[in-house]
Structure 1
Amino acid sequence: MRFALGHDDLHPTEEVEIGFLSVGGSPRIAGENLEHVEMLVAASEPLPPIVVHRPTMRVIDGVHRLRAAVLAGRTTIAVRFFDGTEEDAFILAVESNIAHGLPLSAADRRRAAERIIATHGRWSDRMIASVVGMAAKTVAEIRRGTDAGGAGELARIGRDGRVRSIDVSAGRRLAHEMIIGDPSLSLRKVARAAGISAETVRDVKNRVLRGEDPVPRKQQGKAEGWGGDRTPGSAAVQCAVKPPPAAVVARLRDDPALRLNENGRDLLRLLNIHLVRSEDWNRIIDSVPPHSTETIAELARYCAEKWSEIASRIERRGSKSA
């Protein structure tokens, strides 16, 4: 299966004293299965290392293996550490138990879905379904029954890490305007800008050729209650208003394609460092000693040039993939 949290985030195996480890927060409502523990004790082959959340020393995956090691009289056990948040540690626990070992019950999966919706509400139903091992429609039903039912959400993060609009009608109308404005635009480029799939853009394009409304009748009015103008052109106006950089970075931090790999986290840290308020910049500038003004100014220009170069390279890379 595809893991929402890549196992590249796990560290190499090392032996850890069992007394330092704790259990709790398992996705299993009924706790450990003693028969399964006894079966592991009797196993002739070495068992895989367990996974432990380093900040809390809590076992993420392998509680049964830990119990088996204790019954066998061992004082240490092979461990791979995970350094992410407790919320991500729970997701890794669910994924691991879905992928191997003793399966989670239907009740376990349902409760896990409820918890993930609460902590990762911007993930799409399909994304959460892939983690807990249930149908996306079931996740959607669970979401509707929770406090985090999605009211006011405009977009969600899919399994491929891309952000897509929930309001498909707005995306269709924006795609319609882009196609009318420049018919030569590729399906992928329009899809990326409008937050919809390339196949949806293809359908919009066919509707344009037939002179039909870009939004099918059955989808019209789906976004009622979200607030805002839903007339043609409103999506383009909304897209033209740029949100504050801090809000953009906050959204990027929810993007699994960035925050769940080391390079992405490095980029987020760099972006966050540079999001300094004007008053803070003034304070920093006032603290520069006179004898270092030229040196620091030169370094600031060098950093600005590097960021400009990075921006150009990212744009070129984006245009090539369009």
Structure 2
Amino acid sequence: MKQEGRIVIAQSVVGVVENSDGGRSAPSAVLPRLPLADIVQPDSPRLSGLSDEHARLLANSDAELPPILVNRRTMRVVDGAHRLLAAKLRGQEAIDVDFCDCDNDEAFVLAVEKNVMHGLPLSRAERTAAADRILGAYPEWSDRAIAAVVGLSHKTVGSIRRRFAKNTEPVTHRRGRDGRLRPVNGAAARAKVSSLLADRQGASLREIAREAGVSPDTVRSVRNVRDVRNVRDARDESRRAEAPTAAAPRAVPSPEHEGPQAAPRRASACVRIQETGPAGRSALMRSLRSDPSLRLSESGRALLRLLDVYAMGPDDWARIGGDVPAHRLGEIAQLARECGRIWHNFAAALEQRQRDAVEA
């Protein structure tokens, strides 16, 4: 992004316009007047030149015309060539002006943007030619940033870029309308982030983002995907280890009515949870919280609040258990056992749904 006083990419490319005293122009400000003879003709994006008919319409109007925009460095018109011609037709010797301070490429961008927003519209051919020229001056600008200036779709700008790119050096990053640089090859950038996350596990999101040349949000997204994949791999490995055992029964018995064979199944489930570990539980909870199908529904949000308990470690449970008042130990133990039975039935019902879906 260029310094203040130059053109920057925000919602679109904006030129900083100043009056002769260096302040921003305002309706109440006294605008400077320049002699028409001191003003240089514009570097216009209009391929066919000025429209005499449009200039005559402006000259014959009783309305006071807005000031023209002039580049202080070159005294060349940036915006208002038809108003300048209308002033000549009226017989004026001077005209009100606003000033901008920029180089030739910046002045052209500003001229295109101004002519897209108001005045006699640019033709599609003129907009296309302007996009081609801006690509030559600013190849690092994104398709959407250029589209916002020239008034074309970003897809059209992309097709112009592909034609233009045959004779230019490839760029690795592009600057968007918000002024931020982003990698052109997103897959390569995400692969680099994944490698950095593996090699530098203690680094912060911003450190990884800065080294990979991406945003912290991209690093967070890659990390979440890695966490989900790690949890899935751990589960798959656990399932493969248990493959020789008999399939679980379709019935959903409560713990009080389970037979002797139920203890190994419960022990096996505990082993899977222990193998996952606190880090795996935290990763799984992060993945669940980021799932829109859960996060954006009322029942899903309620389930996530209940499952937050799942991420607690043994030390947390020991601390909570140690704080239970002695006269309530039996009652809370009874409720905890009942909660365990409810969760057991809930888990078994979900597993049954999963088996039914696979068999279907």
The alignment's TM-score, normalised by the length of structure 2, stands at: 0.53
> How far did residue 40 of structure 1 move?
1.4
- Secondary structure of 2:149's aligned partner: helix
Q: Which residue of 1 aligns with 2:143?
A: 125
| Greater relative contact order structure (CA < 8 Å, 6+ sep) | 1
For 1:145 and 1:105, the matched residues in 2 are separated by 20
1:1-322 superposed matches below 5 A: 2-8=11-17, 12=25, 13-146=31-164, 151-180=169-198, 181-182=200-201, 185-186=204-205, 190-197=208-215, 200-211=218-229
For 1:2 and 1:48, the matched residues in 2 are separated by 24
Percent of aligned pairs with the same amino acid: 40
> How far did residue 14 of structure 1 move?
1.0
For 1:67 and 1:29, the matched residues in 2 are separated by 17
8 Å Cα contact 2:42/2:81 also seen in 1: no
Q: Which amino acid aligns with 1:44?
A: D
Name which one, 1 or 2, has greater alpha-carbon Rg.
2
For 1:25 and 1:154, the matched residues in 2 are separated by 31
Question: Which ranges in structure 1 are unaligned for 5 or more consecutive residues?
Answer: 213-322
8 Å Cα contact 2:12/2:177 also seen in 1: no
For 1:193 and 1:128, the matched residues in 2 are separated by 27
Q: Which residue of 2 aligns with 1:245?
A: none
For 2:44 and 2:103, the matched residues in 1 are separated by 15
Q: Which amino acid aligns with 2:14?
A: L
8 Å Cα contact 2:141/2:175 also seen in 1: yes
Q: Which amino acid aligns with 1:7?
A: V
Q: Which amino acid aligns with 2:90?
A: A
For 1:14 and 1:22, the matched residues in 2 are separated by 16
For 2:168 and 2:213, the matched residues in 1 are separated by 17
8 Å Cα contact 1:143/1:149 also seen in 2: no
Q: Which amino acid aligns with 1:209?
A: D
8 Å Cα contact 2:12/2:145 also seen in 1: no
8 Å Cα contact 1:118/1:148 also seen in 2: no
Deviations along 1:275-300, one digit per CA (max 9) or x if unpaired, are xxxxxxxxxxxxxxxxxxxxxxxxxx
8 Å Cα contact 2:16/2:101 also seen in 1: no
> How far did residue 56 of structure 1 move?
2.5
> How far did residue 93 of structure 1 move?
0.3
> How far did residue 7 of structure 1 move?
2.4
Deviations along 1:44-87, one digit per CA (max 9) or x if unpaired, are 33211101123322211000101111111111001112221111
> How far did residue 190 of structure 1 move?
4.5
Q: 1:8 to 1:37 in 2, by over 3 A?
A: closer
Q: Which amino acid aligns with 1:117?
A: L
Q: 1:167 to 1:68 in 2, by over 3 A?
A: same
Greater than 6 Å deviation, 4+ residue runs: none
For 1:194 and 1:200, the matched residues in 2 are separated by 10
Equivalenced residues, count: 211
- Secondary structure of 1:211's aligned partner: helix
> How far did residue 193 of structure 1 move?
4.2
> How far did residue 34 of structure 1 move?
2.5
> How far did residue 142 of structure 1 move?
0.5
Question: Which ranges in structure 2 are unaligned for 5 or more consecutive residues?
Answer: 1-9, 26-30, 231-360
Q: Which residue of 2 aligns with 1:295?
A: none
For 2:154 and 2:179, the matched residues in 1 are separated by 16
Q: Which residue of 2 aligns with 1:249?
A: none
Alpha-carbon RMSD across the aligned residues, in angstroms, is: 2.5
The alignment's TM-score, normalised by the length of structure 1, stands at: 0.59
8 Å Cα contact 1:37/1:67 also seen in 2: yes
Deviations along 1:167-226, one digit per CA (max 9) or x if unpaired, are 21221022213434337844x6644543335554444233212328xxxxxxxxxxxxxx
